[in-house]
Amino acid sequence: MAARLGARGRAGAGAGAARAAWRPAAAAVAAAAAAEPRAPAARLDDGAARELLAGVGAFILDCDGVVWRGDSVLPGVPETLAALRAAGKQLVFVTNNSTKSRAGYLGKFKSLGLDVKAEEIYSSSFAAAAYLQANKFPTDGSKKVYVVGEVGIGEELELAGIPYMGGPDDAGKTIDLSPGLRLDQDPDVGAVIVGFDRNINYHKIQYATLCIRENPGCEFIATNTDAVTHLTDAQEWAGNGSMVGAIKGSTQREPTVVGKPSSFMLDDVAQRFGLDKSEICMIGDRLDTDILFGQNGGLKTLLVLTGVTTEERLQSPENEIQPDLYAGGLKDLLPAATQ
Ligand SMILES: [Mg+2]
């Protein structure tokens, strides 16, 4: 099974090289803040759009807030994606949401009527499996993964041939404290992956904590550390930062973050898709994940205002993250892409 992901080629060596460049999200944020202040972002006009398209061979696109919002495709997006493809641009759809696997996302793209190929999708659930593969996590059954998260992580681990436990199977478990009660973790758990989990509970927190604290060499991997997420369009909801924060609090350990803005994901994406970073533009709606992710990797960056970031927030004096360009939406690239 492990060969299925490796079949696309360079997963092992490339992602292994990527690991050396990995740094935690918090350190990346601090590094960006300490760097020279960047010039304020320029609004994308036709000239800037044409210049961008001339210099870029690939676009890495965040999904929610860029391609869709909730369950609605944003205006002009299908036409713009088609025009970018027709102009010969490689598209890669990247998401920090680990609740679905790449196959799950393909279903969402198709249900929204968007023509996207499975290999153009890169989710943080897949990044977690790719990270373990890159670091030669055993597939012979001698080690397994404990999952705090939803079905996406387990589906990707299965494709990678990596045994796992927890996840949806531990939903609804309760701890009924009685004298002498103890929970014993499996000593073969060699990694804990923490992703967004609507069914997180005290059993999962205790089990993950025991694995990380008691099993020698057990890795602590976070798919992402987003503070908030947009489960409904009525308000912001606590994101995977809250689940990761629970395990950080009890283990006093920092996780290896594999999603945006860590460099693992970018290095692995660039390697897998054969992209040179100098020819990539990152398009996203969040400053602290998408734009920082692009800037950490030396990519061009385009912020779109169809998601969580308002123009006011972008231009506020407190904001230290400036993209190269910003636009009202992805559709603003359409005129230049069809010229
Ligand atoms: Mg987004």
Q: Residue 222 maps to which CATH number?
A: 3.40.50.1000
Same-domain status, 224 and 250: yes
Q: Which residues pair with 122 in a beta bridge?
A: 94
pTM: 0.83
pLDDT value for 338: 93
Ligand 1 centroid from CA 144, angstroms: 31
Q: Which of 62, 267, 290, 324 is catalytic?
A: 62
Flag whether 160 is in a domain: yes
Per-residue pLDDT band for 233 (boundaries 50, 70, 90) equals: confident
Tell me which of 45, 64, 276, 285 is the catalytic residue.
64
Distance 185 CA to ligand 1 centre (A): 36
Is 56 part of any domain? yes
Question: Is 246 contained in some domain?
Answer: yes
Residue 123 lies in a domain: no
Structure confidence at residue 309 as a pLDDT band (50, 70, 90): very high
Q: What is the pLDDT of residues 180-208, one digit of tens each?
A: 999 999 999 999 999 999 999 999 999 99
Domain-terminating residue out of 257, 292, 320? 257
Are both 156 and 85 inside the same structural domain? no
Asked if 315 and 246 sit in the same domain, the reply is: no
* pLDDT computed for residue 35 by the predictor: 56
**197: annotated active-site residue:** no
Is the pLDDT score of 20 beyond 50?
Answer: no
Q: Using alpha carbons, select from 86, 159, 154, 67 the residue that is nearest to residue 119.
A: 159
Question: Is residue 115 in some structural domain?
Answer: no
Tell me: pLDDT of 71 over 90. no
Residue 109 counted as domain residue: no
Say if CB 158 and CB 139 are below 8 A apart. no
Identify the domain boundary among 257, 288, 303: 257
Residue 250 belongs to what domain range?
A: 140-257
- Mean pLDDT across the stretch 235-252? 96
Tell me, what's the pLDDT at 31? 53
Give the model's pLDDT for residue 30: 53
Count up the domains in the chain and report the number: 2
Told to judge if 62 belongs to the known catalytic residues of this protein, a careful annotator would answer yes
Final residue of a structural domain among 230, 257, 284: 257
Residues 157 and 251 in one domain: yes
Rounded distance from Cα 95 to ligand 1 centre (Å): 7
Phi/psi of residue 306, nearest 5 degrees: -90, 5
Mean pLDDT of the chain: 89
Distance 8 CA to ligand 1 centre (A): 27
104 domain residue, yes or no: no
Highest mean pLDDT among 3-17, 107-121, 145-159: 145-159
The answer to whether residue 106 sits within a structural domain is no
Whether residue 58 has pLDDT greater than 80: yes
CA of 232 to the centre of ligand 1 (A): 13
How far apart CA 282 and CA 95 sit, in angstroms, is 12
- Between helix 151-159 and helix 102-111 the angle, nearest 10°, is 120
The residue among 305, 324, 293, 336 whose CA lies nearest residue 60 is: 293
pLDDT at residue 48 greater than cutoff 60:
yes
- Determine the distance separating the centroid of ligand 1 and the alpha carbon of 300, expressed in angstroms: 17
Mean pLDDT computed over 249-254: 98
CA of 239 to the centre of ligand 1 (A): 12
Tell me, yes or no, whether 200 and 231 share the same domain: yes
pLDDT-derived band of residue 9, with 50, 70 and 90 as boundaries? Answer: very low
Whole-number Å distance, alpha carbon 26 to ligand 1 midpoint, is 19
**Candidate from 21-25, 240-244, 322-326, 328-332 with smallest mean pLDDT:** 21-25
